[in-house]
Structure 1
């Protein structure tokens, strides 16, 4: 029976790519010839059997290869289990706070609620947070060539791993037993321009009775893709690009070149700059809004230029029959380049009425004659913005493992460091020097063609931001049998862990003084230590029923303690039928970015609802300055979750699995600047405004002050379903698989104006498709194999916050195809195409690029060839 159950576990819950299979594969094994016990992702207990009660999907290196992806985020983006909060380098811009980074969000619960492990151990977070507060593990640090497999645990696991495991766990297992050598080369390009890639890797190793060495060298280079390279995003004027779509907006900036001139005393009293030698271009004049527009889209990055070089070494040493040593060393240098349009200014700069360059100095009849002026003006004359990010990543783990009689133990020390330097090397003006240049007459913002190189050099600056993240961990695990029961051994595991973490994210003094406009940067500093103890029991109650109990106690230096239990079961009443389930609590500690964030300027798109209701102004989404700061009084997010599932092998060629999951998360750490401006918009300590003199007008918003709070709750539930069918035939073996995630409920609750809660987001709304699925066919015969996969992302509502909740973002279907030939000795040749039909992402009204880049990809068709040779 156990052999049959093991087979079910190995074939049941398919990876959402429909290329994988669900199993509980070993992370490591000992050398006990009589009883081999293995450790599985999601459990501390080394076991005899591989099957277990938690839903676990495993994707091996061959299956990853057949997806055609070139990096881990490409793999995770195709998973139906991935949701809102998964992000890649797509959409990186000069305003982004985490350029070059990527991470995954299981079930849409956030990248900071998905725990990323390497070989079963934690990884330090990126020094630069995503969206100023989301701490994430940058999975770009791990090259595809180094991966043996990826395990995805699909239920909460804080009882085993502690913080951040609310949504689940992704364990990336590296190759550690390679023998011989393999060299691979891969090149590819997109159909519509940009995005050319090159990837070269060398894997070599040696195995003996006592020692295993594995070395992995990997080089990856990708050319940038600009929004200008795609027909649907080449202009921010979506109304002009898509004249047949009702409601398509013109997102061109209100800060143009040479711009719009306004009275300093009343910025709403403005005129388009159509004076002197340099005038607003006719196509950029917006008479209705009385603005000089600017089309920034062609100059902005869709996918940044990236270059990464990685080195990995994994050593395994048998010191004696009962003692082994191991060391993992991973290092990477990565470089990323991001472009943006010239920096915009929104009434930050002024010109006195008696300035030598005053545009109306010779026009005494003009109402702006001798008046102090301000402007909406884009500094294109010093160049478009360019940021370069250089990151060094280092990870080492040194440990010993062994046996004492029937007990297994493992002890290790790990040290991880990530250092990043972000430099703005072109197109960034220093506002203090720009104002000085205006005052002295050196720089004339209204006549850019008259400015000298000396003036441009004076106002331009180079920005610098330095980040560092470190993690140091000591852990000890002990597991073994404590009693013999009629159905098997009663197993116990104990673990103790001590961890120190620190982050530092420090922009230069220009940012801290607020002297750089048109860009964003975070500032955060913090450190913490934590101590934890955990225990786990595996109880074989019957031959057909196993129950696991787990609990973890954790003590954090900055917010206190938490205790999280978990109970799970696996029931197999028939040889081909099993039921599984789990219930547990989990938590996410507030990130060091959320606790220690210094003053940070953001530029969210907001609607001034109070002003709109009063005087019909500010009714459209527009950029406003929001000033954030950390909150040292934050508490942890807390959750409870359960999972119920069935796995059924109908016959040797047909199997399926179905899992129901439910998460209830409380005290979510978040900010809601739209809520702040709508409900506290008349409080000058919260929302600063400029009076306009218009009757009943609360004034034009200058800045909003905001912070992070434990303000939200989230309830979500859904179904994971997959079915596989194997069909042998005279023309080859076929394997069909369908995998789907269906969201039954997703309710995100945030505070309302009356002290209660309001429903801010639910399933089917913006960025929340209810259905994702993948269908695949694998075919192989002799030396040839091929995989065809069809990936589907369901439709969802438009962005209500931007005023498009009544619109629909259509579904998207893409087709991937990979073919392999192994007819040459020791050689594999591959030809692959992702998005074979070059499907464009569905239109969305909400932003200038015209699609939802957090859900859909703008890469288009990508074709590649690869050759691998083993020797």
Structure 2
């Protein structure tokens, strides 16, 4: 019997110097030496104009707490000819929270919003190991054979419950060769930061539009870009089905030689990532069409922004009064789709002791197949 408990707390604060996009746009439209920005000769620009452009910061602070408790019973159940059947069972409780403030504006006039969220997870798990063959009943072709199975149940207060099993087999037809395989499922809930409570949740205003569709006008580069960044309250958990098969060879006739290889196959669903808003593929692939709006109206921009902080301008209405944006990007974390990956891990090593010297030569690496069936799942 064993028990474990831990508690952690972390605090972070960030201040990012930025530029005032509204001041930039006004200065670029200025018609006098006192109001205009000359991007080709800053010394010809009024110090007051430059000061207004530079007086802007993005500010964030967050406090996170984590508490966990775990209880495990582990030991032999009964003996079999191949060895002891062992069982481990346990329970776990997990609690975490995050409290944050994000804001932006001139150094002495930062405005923003506070947010708080928490999560609890209650878990039960168990694993059994059954040795069919072992040192006491080994036969030709079955030097040893072990079967294992495990299961874990997690109950999240915010994303629901999940049950994930895993089975495995380890077979040694003779002492020098081990053949192993396993299959299991996994579940990963979005973090509290992924769900939107983090210092990077914001509307970023760029004074220019460097990322445009191929058929855009060259003059669109001078229009602002809006980027909705940060977490996403509608994220789904990531899940995966995995299996692998491999071997380890340690021939007694060649002491120090080790050869191993493992084939793995992972089918990953609802992968969480940021849409490729800086890549031309965003405009050419119809699957990404929901992640941007060309020539967004003020109403569309305000609906997308919600109550997020706006970096670069006091508010969107002020921006639109000066210049309407070319594009609105939805760069929040999203479930971008399914990724199927398989490959081979391999290792070949030889070591030899010679007096007080020890030499080893090793060849190891990974052979990956191309991801297949990748695409956005919506």
- Equivalence for 2:362: 737
- Equivalence for 2:194: 594
Q: CA deviation at 1:680?
A: 9.0
Which of 570, 578, 589 pairs up with 2:178? 578
**Contact 2:189 2:237 survives alignment (8 Å):** yes
Report the Cα distance in structure 2 between the residues aligned to 1:669 and 1:626, rounded to whole angstroms.
18
CA distance 1:505–1:557, change in 2 (3 Å): same
Which of 455, 473, 485 pairs up with 2:80? 485
- Equivalence for 1:530: 121
Report the Cα distance in structure 2 between the residues aligned to 1:685 and 1:731, rounded to whole angstroms.
65
3-state DSSP of counterpart to 1:558: coil
Which of 657, 660, 663 pairs up with 2:260? 657
Residue 643 in 1 paired to residue 248 in 2?
no
**Contact 1:661 1:718 survives alignment (8 Å):** yes
TM-score, length-normalised on structure 2? 0.72
Q: CA deviation at 1:429?
A: 3.0
Report the Cα distance in structure 2 between the residues aligned to 1:600 and 1:410, rounded to whole angstroms.
48
3-state DSSP of counterpart to 1:449: helix
Q: CA deviation at 1:726?
A: 1.7
CA distance 1:523–1:716, change in 2 (3 Å): farther
3-state DSSP of counterpart to 1:686: strand
The residue correspondences of 1:764-783 to structure 2 (distance < 5 A) are: none
Which of 266, 269, 280 pairs up with 1:666? 269
- Equivalence for 1:832: none
Report the Cα distance in structure 1 between the residues aligned to 2:153 and 2:296, rounded to whole angstroms.
48
- Equivalence for 2:139: none
Q: CA deviation at 1:656?
A: 1.0
CA distance 1:676–1:743, change in 2 (3 Å): closer
CA distance 1:473–1:542, change in 2 (3 Å): same
Report the Cα distance in structure 2 between the residues aligned to 1:682 and 1:725, rounded to whole angstroms.
53
**Contact 2:232 2:334 survives alignment (8 Å):** yes
Report the Cα distance in structure 2 between the residues aligned to 1:467 and 1:677, rounded to whole angstroms.
35
Report the Cα distance in structure 2 between the residues aligned to 1:636 and 1:577, rounded to whole angstroms.
39
Q: CA deviation at 1:681?
A: 9.6
Residue 540 in 1 paired to residue 131 in 2?
yes
Q: CA deviation at 1:485?
A: 1.7
Q: Could you give the per-residue CA deviations for residues 199-233 of structure 1, whole angstroms, max 9, x where no partner exists?
A: xxxxxxxxxxxxxxxxxxxxxxxxxxxxxxxxxxx
- 5+ residue gaps, structure 1: 1-408, 691-698, 756-871
- Equivalence for 1:419: 11
Q: CA deviation at 1:624?
A: 4.8
- Equivalence for 2:213: 608
Tell me which moved more, 544-553 or 739-748. 739-748
**Contact 2:292 2:328 survives alignment (8 Å):** no
CA distance 1:711–1:431, change in 2 (3 Å): closer
Report the Cα distance in structure 2 between the residues aligned to 1:731 and 1:709, rounded to whole angstroms.
57
**Contact 2:224 2:326 survives alignment (8 Å):** no
Residue 701 in 1 paired to residue 326 in 2?
yes
- Equivalence for 2:321: none
**Contact 1:712 1:748 survives alignment (8 Å):** no
Which of 5, 17, 20 pairs up with 1:430? 20
- Equivalence for 1:627: 228
Higher strand share: 2
3-state DSSP of counterpart to 2:18: strand
**Contact 1:522 1:600 survives alignment (8 Å):** no
Report the Cα distance in structure 2 between the residues aligned to 1:477 and 1:556, rounded to whole angstroms.
20
**Contact 2:147 2:168 survives alignment (8 Å):** yes
- How many equivalent pairs are there? 324
Q: Could you give the per-residue CA deviations for residues 819-845 of structure 1, whole angstroms, max 9, x where no partner exists?
A: xxxxxxxxxxxxxxxxxxxxxxxxxxx
CA distance 1:682–1:541, change in 2 (3 Å): closer
Q: CA deviation at 1:432?
A: 5.0
3-state DSSP of counterpart to 1:494: strand
CA distance 1:439–1:594, change in 2 (3 Å): farther
Report the Cα distance in structure 1 between the residues aligned to 2:373 and 2:114, rounded to whole angstroms.
28
Report the Cα distance in structure 2 between the residues aligned to 1:742 and 1:537, rounded to whole angstroms.
32
Q: Could you give the per-residue CA deviations for residues 225-280 of structure 1, whole angstroms, max 9, x where no partner exists?
A: xxxxxxxxxxxxxxxxxxxxxxxxxxxxxxxxxxxxxxxxxxxxxxxxxxxxxxxx
Q: Could you give the per-residue CA deviations for residues 157-183 of structure 1, whole angstroms, max 9, x where no partner exists?
A: xxxxxxxxxxxxxxxxxxxxxxxxxxx
Q: CA deviation at 1:665?
A: 1.0
Q: CA deviation at 1:583?
A: 0.7
The residue correspondences of 1:59-70 to structure 2 (distance < 5 A) are: none
Q: CA deviation at 1:434?
A: 6.2
3-state DSSP of counterpart to 1:660: strand
Q: CA deviation at 1:627?
A: 1.5
3-state DSSP of counterpart to 2:233: coil
Residue 746 in 1 paired to residue 371 in 2?
yes
- Equivalence for 1:497: 92
CA RMSD of aligned residues (A): 4.0
Q: CA deviation at 1:539?
A: 0.9
The residue correspondences of 1:789-800 to structure 2 (distance < 5 A) are: none
Q: CA deviation at 1:605?
A: 6.7
- Equivalence for 1:449: 43
Q: CA deviation at 1:632?
A: 2.4
TM-score, length-normalised on structure 1? 0.33
- Equivalence for 1:384: none
CA distance 1:578–1:625, change in 2 (3 Å): same
Q: Could you give the per-residue CA deviations for residues 431-482 of structure 1, whole angstroms, max 9, x where no partner exists?
A: 4566788799865422632556565445424443213332111111111112
**Contact 2:228 2:329 survives alignment (8 Å):** yes
3-state DSSP of counterpart to 2:363: strand
- Equivalence for 1:758: none
**Contact 1:570 1:580 survives alignment (8 Å):** yes
